[in-house]
Structures are given as C-alpha cells and as structure tokens.
Chain A
C-alpha cells in the first residue's frame, strides 16, 4: 500500500472580466478517493455533491421504486442512532442532507457550517455506509410513497410525465415509474434496500464535487473517514443500454379537468457527443431560452395559448432525449401541438440566423458565472463536469467551444437532429377530439 497523496492538475480559470479567478483542484485522498474541490471562504459553509450511478433503471422487475425507497430512508437513522436522534443531530449541527434519485443516478447533497464539520461528516458517513433501515421506518416510508402515488393521480402535470415515460421508452427500463406502483412498493423488503446500497454505493461508481470553507488537506482526511469504507465495486455493473426503440405520435389519457398537460420529445444526444453544444444552442433558440425562445414567442406571446412552454436536452449516462412540455385549455390542445411541430420543422429546415446565434452565444458565455454565487452550485457543477467526463479543462475550453460554433455547422447538425415526425406527445386531460 502506497501512502502517496497525489495532487493532480491545478487549473485556474478566469472570468470574462478577468477580476475573478477560482482554482479547481483535482484531489486524491490517501485511500484513493478522487474528487474536485474549490476552496471558497466567503461564507463558513462546506457544500458537497455526490453522484452514484444507479437510479431507477436498476430497480428489479416487480420491485420498481426501490431506489426512491432507499433515498427516502437514508436519513432515518443508522446502526448507531435511531431516526429521531439522527435527525435531531442533523438539525443541531446546522447540517443539510438532500437525497434524491433519478432514472440513471442517485444523488446526495450535503452541506454543513464549517465549525461542525467533523461531526457532520461523521453523520454523512453513517447515512451512506450504515443506514438503519429499521422496520418501523420502512413501513412509514411505504405509507408515504403510497400517499404520494394517490396524490399524483389527480395531478395532471405529474401524470403526463408518467404517461410519457411509460409509452415513450419501448422495451427499456426508463419506462418504469421512478416512484414505483402501489403493487411494486408493497413487495420491497429490507433486504432489497440493503442490497441496493451495497451494490450501488461503491467507490468506482461515485463522483464528488466539493466547495467551501475548508483547507484541502483537512478535507481529504474527512472524505477518507466518510467514504473509504465503501467497497470498490465494479463499473461494469452499471451499464445501461442505449434506446433501441422510442415511440412517436400521440397517447392520450382522459381525465376530467379544464386544462390538458402535454409532455413531448424525441431522441437526443449524450453529453459528450461532439454536437452536443451545437444542439444545445439550437434548442436554446427553439425552446430553452426563457422569454426569448421561439416556442415562447409564437405560442405564448403571440397567441396566448399557454402560460409556460419549454424544451430542453436531457443527457442520460447511456443516451439522451429532448423533452418539452406545456399546459393549455382543452380546446386548444391540437392547435398548440401543431404549432410545436411547425417550430420543430423550422428548426430542422430553416435553422438559426446569425443574429439569433450571436445572442445565444453571448447568453451561454455570460451565464456561466451565475454558477459561482453559492458553494452548493459550485459543488454541483464540479460533480456534473466529472460525471460527464468533460475534463478539468472544460472550464477554460467551454468559452472556446461556444465561440467556434457557426451558423452553418449548427444548421447542418440541426437538420439531422430535429424531426417533427418522430415527436411523441403524451396528453393528459380532456382535449377536444
């Protein structure tokens, strides 16, 4: 065993105004855990973002909802403390622990005030490495998930999202509900939960970003004491296949309500695809850019058909999609869908203009510094850039990638990417026939 602590690269990236600079450190602990870190002493807080590959994709057949179940139970005590003791301790230390799961990953964000770092990291260790999973807590959470499932049945926004997943991803586990069903949740037992944490909370499967008021040497020790007892794991266990078939057309679920909720989308790109930024910019112009996008202007501002309409790219670890949504009164559903298709077609065939591209470029270049206004958003950014393997030089390269995008290039890749004939619309409400 070598006791060498390696300090890899040290990158300084500079904001456009050249007044601010932050150091991103790529660190490795004595026990071999890698993480990225930015020291920031503006407030006495430490923020950490941890991502494990996993998520609902790996929930076993018939036991859908296992990963959500685990997420709800991690702060319910440990082998050393019951749930009440644990949660009171969390509060008395001024610590914040947020645990969530998605289709392809399991996320933990942890924050604490720096004077309580030792004890807080120790609680984090207990939550990740030896959660109690007491039978009482399990039954409590089962009740809560079931209540949520019932509440969702009268929430058209939630329903449209579920209906989309269920019918869009054909023959792929992403079609399964992240929360599970009443039936699947009733079958999940303690062993399933324990096995989940053993299998997915492993070192090789973990990505960490940290920012805040602490020195790197001390932090490395705390990271070791928190996470080094996790097993190494095997990255191959976390393979998720690409989408072999995605649905198109429409699917309608009828429910009595004055307004209909629609979610739509088609195939997308992975984050490390060479064309990712070009399509990201094209989508910003189509449906991503707040009050400036074409969907917003044509459908909300000019016609008053919706309050909100958007589209965005979702890069999963295995593949990607582009997703959009809106709600409109029942008698304007078809009109709005037709307008979405029309804009989609224009993105494909007409593309973007030089003026639109320049505005979009300066948006993406200028918006990056907003990530640096809190330790938590810095930590999350560090985690995300590692997770997608964008490289530590991404922080300096990013501006150049954006500046190099030309109208011709964007319009060429847009022509292959956008396809209104491949869009799938999940419709929940009572639309006029």
Chain B
C-alpha cells in the first residue's frame, strides 16, 4: 500500500514538472559492439522505416580525395558475398518498400521504408552490408561515370550551384566544409579502388553508427533483432582518428561573381559562418527565431521592407543551418528587380538589418515564432520518416537524445532579449562571403 502511494505521488510529481512533453518519445539502447539503436514506436500504419547513420561524411576525406564518402555511398548498393548484385534493392522493391541514401558534410545515411512484417530481413541486409561489401574494378569505374553525371546535373549545369560551390570554398578556406560533398571533378576521376575500400573499412563499423527504427515495431522486437544481426559484427571499440580543422578569421571582403550569357536574372547571396546548435542549443534557437523574424518568409521584416514597401526585390530571405558537427551557416539571398544596382541593394539590406534589430523585433513576432516551434513538433510526428531523419542527424553530429526530445524546453525561458543578443552577435560577425549571380 505504501509503495503504491509513493509511486502515485512520484507520477504526479513528474507530470507537474514535465509540462513540455518529449517530442518523439523515442528510446535508445547500445549493443556491446558500440552500435547505438534508437526506436520511435508508432503503430498507425503497418510500416517501418530503418535508417542507418554513419558518423562519416565528406569532412573526413583526406586532402586530394574529395568525393570519397559520396562515392562509397553509391557503391554500398553493389552487393555482398552473401547477398550479391542488387539482392537488397530487389528485396525492398518486391515488397513494396522504398529506399535511398544520402551523404552530407558530416554523415552518410541509408534508409528503407517497408511493410513491418519484413523488418527482420532489412535489418539482416543492412547489418550484412556494414561488413561484407564486395566490389569489382568494373563496378567502380562504371559508378564513377554515374557520379560524374550526377555532378554535371547537380552543379555544373546549374549556375546557382556553381556560385555556391565557390562561396563555400571562400567561407571555409581551410576546413573541409569548403570542399563540395560530391567532390571536385578531377578528384572524382582520380579516386582509387583502395581509397574507397579503406574508407569503408575504417568508418563503417558499429561503434561509428546509429540505427534508427521508426514505425510499427516494439522495443522488445527492436532489441532482439538488432542484437541478432548487428550484434554479431565485431568491433575494436577504438576511437577513430579524424582531422580536426578550423578556419582563420576572415579579414578580407570576399565578393564572388559568376556570369554566363544564359543567366537572365541577377541573384545576390551571402553565406555566414556562425555557431552551431552543438555549441549552444539555446543560442542556436535564439538565432533561428531571430532570423525567422528578420528574414523567414513573407511575414518577415526584410520581406515587408524590400518586397512590399520599397518594391526593389521580388524575393528576399535567410535561414540558419546549425545542425552541424563544426561551424554552422546562415544563407541569405535577394532577387533584385531590374532597376536596382546590386551593390546599392546590398548596402540597403545591411542597413535595414541593424535598423530591424533596434526597432522592429516586437513581442508579437517573437511569440508567433515561439508558438511555431510547438506546432512544428506536432507536424513532425505526422510521419514515420521525418522523426528518424531528425533524430539520426542530430545524434550523429553529436547531440544527445535528451537534448533532442527536450528541444522545446529551451523555449520556456527564452526571452526576446536572448533573440536580440543572438541577432546582434550575428550582425557583427564579419565571417561571411558575398556572391553575385549574373
């Protein structure tokens, strides 16, 4: 009797202190070989998403070997000793599933969404390709052509991407964040079979990976199946040595221009190097909210001023990308109407940003953005893929599950002053480069 009373009391106590609920209600456990597993159970449809996140991205490539992480991602679909050719992909599609993979600066991830009764097989197949990938020289040379076509499609035939590539190289002159994820064309052409295989052996190990299971699967089953398949993989548990690079302060004014005769619309861009969420979640949220008030969409201060009132641009905006292992970035852009000089526009934008900070960040705008954080948390749960995506990314760049689940706790004592402080720091930041298209 007494125990029950105590438990009840404890529950009430807990509830009264946890006003903000956890966003995803996810659970985490580790296998003996260091593999982290996260489960987000959700039984609305008989479907499961499995994602595996390797803590390796283009930042980990050694000098002169750009594109390695992404090249390997392509080759991971080529089969293993036990499941040769494209057995895995065939299995996914012949069961109505979908799959893909992506590589970023900080991570490489693979995912499948499939009817939940097939979950065991895809766990087996993903665990198998972590250790048993087989590759032939021919596969590598054909895939190299595919990757070059991908580069031409994503970057070289798109003027805005050509400009962005140069901008990032100037913003990160020393850090590997300045190297394109897909790699420089001449380096993609020269990557060797052994470069790729060694990269795979070094980074595709259980203690460097996180598996996220989202959908109709129980904790008990998730534990049993991951242990059965991933648990067999040996691991030395040694920490992986990596490059740790940073950049000097930018003291010069960089303005990069790209033009060709087919570009008919000028675009102004600027990329800033800023703190990441990893450095401070609260400061990151303050900056994110500040930028949304300043430049996030058609209700923002800059949009109101330049699109609606002065009518000198057709669009303007800016956003924060802070979910990064090292420094974060802020992207700004404006599309000028024909009758304004781009340098004059730039001057006006700079002035207006300071004016906005001092006079236009109102309590109402602050409250709207704060509430939106709560709403977004609800929308995120209306999916099986998105929660896996968000949790996998955040854990892989080095956040903890508690930090993600309790993200919105940070809003409780966030003030408008915090937002202004974050914006002020941002506006006084000289670590940026400016780009002009056209």
Contact = CB atoms under 8 A, between A and B. Distances in A.
A15 interface: yes
Contacts of A16: 46, 115
A43 interface: yes
Interface in B301-356: 304, 307-308, 311, 314-315, 335, 337
B157 A257 contact: yes
Given A94-B378, A376-B382, A370 B262 contact: no
Contacts of B94: 358-359, 362-363
B182 to A, nearest CB: 10
A73 to B, nearest CB: 12
Interface string A295-307: 0000011111111
Given A20-B46, A259-B153, A363-B95, A292 B146 contact: no
A367 interface: yes
Which range holds the interface residue count of chain B?
35 or more
A111 B379 contact: yes
A23 to B, nearest CB: 14
Given A111-B379, A370-B113, A328 B86 contact: no
A370 B264 contact: no
A144 B315 contact: yes
Contact of A304 (B86, B142, B156, B264): B142
Contacts of A370: 45, 47, 96, 98, 113
A365 B96 contact: yes
Contacts of A292: 86, 89-90, 93
Interface of B, helix, strand, loop or mixed by DSSP: mixed
B144 A372 contact: no
A135 interface: no
Interface in A6-20: 15-17, 19-20
B149 interface: yes
B134 to A, nearest CB: 16
A329 B45 contact: no
B158 interface: yes
A352 to B, nearest CB: 14
Contact of B261 (A256, A359, A373): A256
Nearest to A153: B264
Given A144-B314, A256-B261, A42 B298 contact: no
B115 A329 contact: no
Given A154-B260, A374-B383, 16 more contacts: A88-B299, A94-B379, A113-B378, A140-B307, A150-B264, A151-B267, A154-B262, A256-B260, A290-B89, A290-B93, A290-B99, A291-B89, A308-B153, A327-B149, A366-B115, A370-B45
5 contacts: A43-B378, A88-B299, A154-B159, A363-B94, A367-B96
Shortest 7 CB-CB contacts between residues of A and residues of B: A366-B96, A304-B145, A94-B375, A367-B96, A150-B265, A372-B45, A307-B150
